Amino acid sequence: MERHLVDDLTGAYQRAGLADALGALASEHARSGAHYALAMLDVDHLKTLNDVYGHATGDAALKAVAARAARVLRSGDKLFRYGGDEFLILLPGTGHAEAESVLRRVRDQVIANPVEAGVWVNVNVSVGVAATDEPGAPTDQAQLFERADARLYLAKRAGRNMVVASEVAPEPDPGALRETRLVGRDEQLAQLDAFLAANAGTAEERVLRLTGPAGAGFTRFLHEAGVRGHIAGRAVRSIVATAPNHGVYLRAMEQAYRELLPADPTEGEVAERLAYDAEGHGLLVLLEGGRWLDPGSRRLLADRLRKGGAKLVEAVPDGATAAFPATLHVALEPLRPAEAGRWLAAALGGPADAATVAALAEAGAGLPARIAELVARLADEGALTRSPQAVSADPERVRALARAGAEAKAPPELPRWESPLVGRSRWLAGANPLVRDARLAVLVGPGGIGKSRLAAQLALELANEVEDTRWVDLRAVRQAAVLPGLIAEALGLEASDDVEGLGRQLGERRLRLVLDEVDGIVDEAGLLATLLDAAPGLQLLVTSRMPLRLADERLIEVPELSVAAAGELFRHGMERVGAEEEPGDAELHALVEKVGPTPLTIELAAAWTRALSPAELGAELDRHPELLAAAPGLQPRTARFIDVTRELMSPWEQEALGVLATVPGGFTAEAARAAAGASPFFLLALLERSLVRREGARYTVHAAIAERYRAGLRDPAAARERVARTYAELARQVNEMPRSESSSRGYRLLDAERANLVFAWREALERRDTELAWPLARALRGYLDVRGRAREGLELFQLAESQLADAPDTELRGWVADAVALFLAQRGRHAEAAAKIDEALALLAPHTPGDTAAMAWNTAGVVAGMGGRPDAALAAFGTAAELRRQLDDAVGEAQARGNVAIVLSMLRRPQEAFAALEEAAANYRRVEHASGEALTLLNLASLGRESGLLEPEAVMAHARAALELAEGIGYANGARGAATELGEALLLAGRPEEALGAFERARDWARVEENESAERDLLGRMAAARRAADAALREQVRGAGAEAASEG
């Protein structure tokens, strides 16, 4: 071919001769059917190569690509220089499969070795291939070229440095943003280049920290850093740490090296891989989410940075915590409007109009990630318009989307463990898809095997697959009937005592519940199947020592640790307690064999190494072969080693931990001192020996440890009594709080201690100890009523009726009968409730007037009202109010008057109801009972609005007064109700903007309450107020326009 048709730089044919060559192949194909293929080849990141090293280096790279490709291409194949960084290859007489094979050899040849061009640089290529013998292949040469070019684009989108010869994928969404070059980052790139080229002497000098607001383009900048590191010949490893990664041992290193490391690698294997990269090539680590970096990976990376050969670039958005100290900080600032316009033009594949650019730049605060999110949302709802001139969107819609921006989803609240999750990566990888797809997944294994820890990890990893994830601790639950109430409480729903009611609240919501330690209700596990039927969007992840025997359960067995993983966990445990002796592998494996490779026993054994060497621990096990006894649900070696740890303690320590093991629902340090005489120093010693776990301010004893220590108690009955008296005393303290405090702070205390209160109640009844039962009876009646747990309340107080039937304390029996009547009424058993309250009043007749009798008359009013007997209810509430007056109990009297008002409202007698409420408010005001006054003012506002007794301004005045009182004392429930009522009144008054503010205020209080059902309701009210405000604004604009037109 003539000299003028050859590219001077690369030696490839010039593009000018392409049309003739391609036309000849097309003609021959049309004449004889001879197939041919066409490939588009792009030199990856040539602009970066030119920017960093200069055009001479870029030219050398192009020459090398052409020369290396020519070595592989066959004699009839033709290589054309198509553009600045692109080549086109024609392959005559070649079908699809052969063309793909040839181009893979071309790519392999190009990337095989670095290119020498003053410096050594790595060069990669992306290739798209098309051939005429493919199914559905176009016969037109232009269409064949378009297919190859489209596949080249796919190769770039998929990560570059690859050959794509498959069918063309559907066109990307027209709203999707293209990967763009960095805009407005020249200064920062220069700092990056200087950092990569510098000879650093310390670990801090080997770290570059990127700072700036979240959304400033950290991921894209790190990608560019990786490109430059790769071109320079470094091994580049990327880590994106997230919350689920933090607790998994070496998860970040596994992410960075993938198939280059074995599953569940040891620290030694990872350190060897890091050394290979650092010493052989030079290592560049790109890190996002450093705060979630698992401790093992953090330690190994820090060690490698100290030794040299490695550099690290860490993205640390404003407010985030860095994983590594750094000498050099590079700030990514928001883009200026002009820069945002250039970035959008590149990202959208065409310019956006000035108004759209301005709106997006302002709404996205100049941050590429936020702007990209807004563009994606505009595209999703069809609000992005493309024309030949520009891409555009309504600026008002842009601003509205920015205002309604989705809040970042917080990770679920799950238990946390201090020790790393070692040797479980392969198991997690296999279990993850099983749990993701199962309605009912059951992790099965003996006590101490690590089921709870793995369930928490799986729930964390899968949290984004569902709307919400919640943990429900069932270790102290022995009756399945209480499960709906516990689930409703965990989800912030209205109290529910039955599966049907809970199912109605859950509806179609996509939720995952982790039910931990269901062993106490495994005989009633059919309730779980009923729950799943009632809530189609619900998924359950359950931990159990045995299968549930349900039709749809997916059993996932939790195995023992491998010996290597057990050894690694043991070493971590020794390090945590500060043990100095480093055991050899043989000694460690021998100990693992004796204690068993379960996480619980390994951590227990490691915790003792501060006092005993591994050899001494092994000797203790050898001295106690008789302890190798069967224990239900535990492996023999697990049971024996727990028993050995018990033998290593003093008799007092054994008994103290045995008492604490008797507490079913965990305990505070104060309760530990009261029940077992356990000092904070003793608790600290138990923590150090992994015999208890701390969760916030509470301590728990692992179920397997608790079983063995309870079994060793000298006097189990005395231990149970000490525990019961501790929680009866707590109940007494709550009972003595002022009413407003007991029903808020007091009941929150009881929420945490519910299982322990029930244990104490049953123990008191078993002993028929009325003195012990009284404070518990007072606390449980009010608590279970307020929390809506009628089923549980009925069961507990009917048990008391049976156990105390002959007790001489008639006032206590009257209290119990009153509670039974109340809970019967709440369960809809009105006739039984009426008979039972009459029985209670008869028992309490000798104690009238008195607090218990006044309470029972109030209950009589509730029972009558719920049973459809309003006149009897009015009479009973009136008696209750009079008794409270005689007792000089202004608060109780006010509450009774409030109940009278409720009945009068039901009877459609609003004036009388309003008067009763005003009298109640005056009583509350007289004794300065702020919460009662706030609630009564709220009821006055609501009744006044609904009945029309009050004008809107008066309704708002009552609501504002209630809100001021409630907020002044931090009364969340009252504040939420008052702000909601104020919002409704403002809406009725035609003031939607102010109503929106009131609903937002109520929403904030719902969050304080952690009341999710109320929050959802308020979000709906806010949306309605926002629509009303938008409609009012549009009407105002139209009115102004019409007025202007008429004036014109």
User: What's the whole-number mean pLDDT along residues 631-648?
Assistant: 80
37 pLDDT higher than 80: yes
Q: Is the same domain home to 792 and 899?
A: yes
Q: Is the same domain home to 966 and 1025?
A: yes
Average pLDDT, rounded, for the chain: 88
908 pLDDT higher than 70: yes
Residue 918's nearest CA partner among 938, 895, 936 is 936
Question: Is 822 or 378 the better-scoring residue by pLDDT?
Answer: 822
- Give pLDDT, residue 1036: 67
- Give pLDDT, residue 866: 86
For 390-425, how does the pLDDT look when each residue is reduced to its tens digit (9 = 90+)? 888 888 888 877 776 655 567 788 998 888 899 999
Q: Which domain holds residue 691?
A: 639-714
Q: Is the same domain home to 258 and 211?
A: yes
CATH number of the CATH domain containing 659: 1.10.10
Share of residues in the chain with pLDDT > 90 (%): 51
958 pLDDT higher than 80: yes
332 pLDDT higher than 50: yes
- Give pLDDT, residue 408: 56
Q: Is the same domain home to 461 and 352?
A: no
Q: Is the same domain home to 278 and 304?
A: yes
List Cα–Cα distances, 292 to 225, 264, 304, in angstroms.
21, 19, 19
d(CA 588, CA 617): 11
- Give pLDDT, residue 174: 41
How many Cα atoms within 13 Å fall on the side-chain side of residue 61? 29
Assigned domain for 866 exists: yes
Q: Please, which residues bridge with residue 483 across strands?
A: none
Q: Is the peptide bond before 849 cis (omega within 30 degrees of 0)?
A: yes
Residue 758's nearest CA partner among 482, 427, 366 is 482
- Give pLDDT, residue 169: 47
- Give pLDDT, residue 707: 92
Scan for tokens 């004392």, then name that residue: 969
User: What's the whole-number mean pLDDT along residues 340-367?
Assistant: 84
- Give pLDDT, residue 628: 40
Q: Is the same domain home to 704 and 721?
A: no
For 719-755, how does the pLDDT look when each residue is reduced to its tens digit (9 = 90+)? 999 999 999 999 999 999 886 677 678 888 999 999 9
Of the listed ranges 629-638, 899-908, 995-1004, the one predicted with least confidence? 629-638
Scan for tokens 């509670």, then name that residue: 819
Q: At what angle do helices 747-767 and 716-735 cross, to 10 degrees?
A: 140
For 283-293, how does the pLDDT look when each residue is reduced to its tens digit (9 = 90+)? 999 999 999 99
Q: Is the same domain home to 386 and 303?
A: no
656 pLDDT higher than 70: yes
Assigned domain for 276 exists: yes
- Give pLDDT, residue 788: 79
Q: Is the same domain home to 901 and 795?
A: yes
d(CA 54, CA 66): 19
Query: What is residue 412's DSSP assignment?
Result: P
- The number of helix segments (H) and strand segments (E) in the chain equals 44, 22
How many Cα atoms within 13 Å fall on the side-chain side of residue 839? 18
975 close to 982: Cβ distance less than 8 angstroms: no
Q: Which residues contact residue 13 at a Cβ distance below 8 angstroms, ignoring those fewer than 6 apart?
A: 1, 5, 6, 7, 21, 78, 79, 80, 81
- Give pLDDT, residue 761: 98
158 pLDDT higher than 80: no
Question: Is 1039 or 502 the better-scoring residue by pLDDT?
Answer: 502
d(CA 79, CA 11): 9
Q: Is the same domain home to 227 and 345?
A: no
CATH number of the CATH domain containing 102: 3.30.70.270
- Of 164, 184, 202, which closes a domain? 164
- Of 557, 580, 600, which closes a domain? 557
Assigned domain for 418 exists: no
Q: What is the CA radius of gyration of the chain?
A: 37
Class of residue 605 by CB neighbours under 10 A (exposed 0-12, middle 13-18, buried 19+): buried
Assigned domain for 3 exists: no
Q: pTM for the full model?
A: 0.75
d(CA 362, CA 337): 8
Total number of domains constituting the chain: 9
Q: Is the same domain home to 493 and 606?
A: no
Highest mean pLDDT: which range of 406-410, 416-420, 763-767, 875-879: 763-767
At 915, the pLDDT band (50, 70, 90 cuts) reads confident
At 619, the pLDDT band (50, 70, 90 cuts) reads confident
Assigned domain for 513 exists: yes
384 pLDDT higher than 50: yes
Assigned domain for 748 exists: yes
User: What's the whole-number mean pLDDT along residues 312-323?
Assistant: 95
Assigned domain for 410 exists: no
Residue 371's nearest CA partner among 380, 362, 384 is 362
Enter the tokens of residue 405. 């921006």
Question: Is 810 or 971 the better-scoring residue by pLDDT?
Answer: 810
CATH number of the CATH domain containing 436: 3.40.50.300
Sign, CA torsion 431/434/439/444: negative
For 77-112, how does the pLDDT look when each residue is reduced to its tens digit (9 = 90+)? 999 999 888 999 999 999 999 999 999 999 999 998
At 906, the pLDDT band (50, 70, 90 cuts) reads low
Q: Does residue 629 come out as left (phi exceeding 0), alpha (psi in the -120 to 50 range) or beta?
A: beta
User: What's the whole-number mean pLDDT along residues 541-565?
Assistant: 94
At 916, the pLDDT band (50, 70, 90 cuts) reads confident
Scan for tokens 């530990």, then name that residue: 672
| φ/ψ (deg, to 5) at 1007 | -70, -35
577 pLDDT higher than 70: yes
- H-type helices in 112-185, by residue range? 141-157
Assigned domain for 415 exists: no
Q: Is the same domain home to 400 and 253?
A: no
Which pairing describes strands 78-81 and 86-92: parallel, antiparallel, or unpaired? antiparallel
- Give pLDDT, residue 213: 94
For 785-813, how does the pLDDT look when each residue is reduced to its tens digit (9 = 90+)? 877 788 899 999 999 999 999 999 999 99
Sign, CA torsion 51/57/59/64: negative
Q: Is the same domain home to 708 and 721?
A: no
- Give pLDDT, residue 175: 41
Estimate to the nearest angstrom the gap between the alpha carbon of 974 and the chain centroid. 29
- Of 557, 576, 591, which closes a domain? 557
CATH number of the CATH domain containing 990: 1.25.40.10
